[in-house]
Structure 1
Amino acid sequence: MLHLAAKQLLTGDRTQTQISADAIAPAFDELSPDLRYKLLQRRAVKGWLFNSVLYLATAVLLAPVAVPQLNAAADGTISQVRGLKQKADTVAEFISPDFAAPVQKGENIAGHTVTSGYGFRDTANLPEGASADHKGVDLATEIGTPIKAIGAKGSKTKVRCWTDSKGGGNVAEMEPQSFPNLKFQALHLSECKTGIYNAGETIVLSGDTGIGAPHLDWRQRDKTTGKHQHPQKSYLLWALTGREPNANFTRIDILRNAIITQESAGDAAIVNRDSSALGLAQILPENLAGAGKGWDFEALGKDLTPDEFLADPDAQTKIINHQLSNIYETQLKDGHSADEATRRTAAVWYSGNADLANDTKPQHWNGDPAKDYPSIKDYSDQVLNRVHELRKTQIND
């Protein structure tokens, strides 16, 4: 449907222009990344204008009148319009223009800061040999950060590895079956093995080979022409997480920030005086305990001491995202709405049990009435309210 929408935008009626009968509009994925992004933004604006006109027309035509039957009909029609708009908003969220946007310097992609953007750059403070015309984007990554095969579930990605003697170090070229017009490159790798990989499978590990400190140089190219393209967030995010970007990623970021505000007000070094819970989202120490297991090892592939955890806000964010994603997606799969999934995820975070999301009993640490905490329902409702407020802020920005 995304391809069809793009073609409709590109081939709309233009009475003043003659188009030859054999002219063929390009498919959406054949367009440049910048044009894809502009088309999605343009569609979002058109959708907003359409909704505005629809609401205005509804208000004028269905204004309450003296006849009760007409009032009832008006209420029913307005309800239907609202339902259609809610469905349209859901679809618009799933195909988020933000994920089609080109990656820019300073952004954070899956917990990694983009330290150098695409195109011409100042090399004064870069290592000797760094190119002025950068063909990719650089991300600050620790040695051993996994890069995943992107593509639809069940699809394959072909990987070819070699060493670039001009400063790129170990390089992987990836050709996902799901995107036959594109190929991707990852440079400065610590490990790379040529082969065929399943979508979502770890294919290479970032490193510090070639020029510079440990980082990932990510590139996107047209498979037919070989021309470099400005890398897009969607593919890079997919490669770093192993999951297709969609509205859930945006919701998880917002949900994480809502829980952090609720738990610590953004203080990464705080320790709860009662429970000894740690950091931004007040994670209990036992959730980090044990060599080769725990939330830290699940999300990062390594163990952290409590002190290391408190000193590393980026690691905290990755661990929180990993856990929230698992909990939230489970609630969605169980058939709960987005709002109810948010409340139930908050209940799990607070109590360990999603089914207690409506429990109104006041909470006390170890049964001590002097150590009073919100009920699980209050906590869940407060998190949901914060999510709504943060989403409004995001829309207004």
Structure 2
Amino acid sequence: MVEFAKREGINMSRLLEEVLKAFYSGRRVILGPGPGFEPGLGDPQPSKLLNPKNDPKIGKNELYGHYIAFSRKLQNSNVTQEQSEEIKYFITQEHLNMLFLELKAKGVQEHHYKFVERSIKRFLDYITQEGNYYVFTLNDLISYLEKLQNEYHPVTYRKQLTYIKKLFRIAQIPLESYLKSKRIVGVDRTVVTVDDIKNLINIIKSLREKGRLAEKTADRMLVSLLLMATSGIRTHELIRLKLKNIDIRNRTIFIDENISKTNRARVTFFTKEVQKLLKRYVQKYNLKPEDNIVTYFALEKPFLKKNELKTQPIRPKHMRKFFSQEWDRKNGNSTVKKLLMGHSIREDINVLHYSHHTPEELKQLYDTVFGNLKFGV
């Protein structure tokens, strides 16, 4: 090659420059299987590209910083059914590993992680598995989304779609931007009173007496529900609480940055009635400092399995709602309520910069409002 260039008087530097320009000019970029091709992370999508004579439109995948050929099915409505079925997209185990690595790195809670696992498994079970790869066409995806829409509430459908889209981004499947879903903003206007919670307590006790609810399960539910109702903590904060985070003697819950949803440490309190209930529970079941008060599924499962609880209008999440509503009914200070409940204070200049209180002051203010609150347990 070099000898030929010298004979013909060709400038090799110039030739190389022209070759590189042609390569990077973008006039035609076709990615596809080459010698020794083995599908895996970062492989171009789709695996069967259309004929380059069709000049497929090229779209930039900003996530990975290079170009991939988009499906002409999405660019040209005149594509035939037969052509659309030739375009296949694949997902590898490595793509799945990266999705779940991202969730683990974010420290998502166990119940949320399992929800994503179930959502992705549901999709993979629907499409085709070829060896170590999962393969689907555009029609497969459309059929699956229709199935989800028919079987699930719009909110649940949207949640599942979110993680399918995330998987597509990781696998470089150029369909993510086409997966739109209607945004549903639901406002739970449930009003929760002391009598509502008393009724829930009586149902739990009744199930225990009839032998339809294990004694430990019933005790755990009562402690958990009343802790939330009197302290205002979130369900997902409660399930991350360990016994060492609770000072039973001083009726104080310490919620550190790793537990708090807003990543801000705070303290909150519970009533003397709940103090006695919690003390008995810890002694009866010999809880250790590192033990959790309750797990998510242990708290939620009875509400899914027992008809008497399933038909109730309130759930564990409504305990926090009760705290807020009852605080207002008793004319409690709204700033103190924000501090106890751990509301976001980014927009509240008063709370953010000025209205600071010691734990002792907060406890005194808490007792002024909730000091006489009782449920008769």
TM-score by length of structure 2 reads 0.23
Q: Which has the higher helix share?
A: 2
Structure with the bigger RCO (C-alpha within 8 Å, sep 6+) is: 2
